Amino acid sequence: MKTHSEDPRTITFLLQQAASGDPQAKNKLYRALYAQLTRVARNRLARMGTMSMDAPAILHESYMRIDASRSAADFPNRKAFFTYASTVIRTVIIDYVRERQAQKRGANQVTCLKTGIGEVIVDEQSLLDLNHAMADLERLDPRCHQVVEMRYFGGLTEAEIAELLEVSVPTVKRDWYKARAFLFNYLQGPA
């Protein structure tokens, strides 16, 4: 059950207030979303296995990047905010993996990534390959890319994604299926 602070109307209202210059609205917005975004970050980390970065660290780094790169006026509604937040969470995780690889000078740490097709054991290089696959998917089908980011990295349900993208739930399901197939084929490489 959603709390009052997670009510879509409350989030939209706080985004509008922050955009209009209310200095307290931005803090209220992040407090309202903190629990939800922490659950999302924990879920992503659990799916990825033994990464040493914790959920609050991902959330705080994401918040700092959103705060530093965008003004409240850039988020006129929930769709704009969650779309951008999902992208930022993905880049925080990918940047962390890149940094770890640079520190290890190529030694791969095995992690577990749940792809929706089944649980697959992958190394950090595969996570970077996933990032490249996501970039190709974005060029080929921007909406499928958004569905993956919102569902996998943003932790949104199919119904929430459908509402935000203003499409039907079956459309989101088809996009999710197409995107998973594309990513699976991309990551498997040539047969």
| Contact by Cβ (8 Å): 137, 148 | yes
pLDDT value for 162: 93
Split into its structural domains, the chain has a count of 1
pLDDT(178) > 80: yes
The domain in which residue 63 lies consists of: 4-188
pLDDT(11) > 70: yes
**Residue 96 corresponds to which amino acid?**
Y
Confidence of residue 190 (pLDDT cuts 50, 70, 90): low
pLDDT(112) > 50: no
User: Rg for the chain (alpha carbons), in Å?
Assistant: 17
pLDDT(83) > 90: no
pTM tops 0.75: no
Window from 37-51, 129-143, 173-187 with minimum mean pLDDT: 37-51
Least Cα distance to 66 among 79, 84, 39 occurs for 84
Confidence of residue 66 (pLDDT cuts 50, 70, 90): confident
Stretch 29-53: mean pLDDT: 71
Most confident of 32-36, 63-67, 170-174, 186-190: 170-174
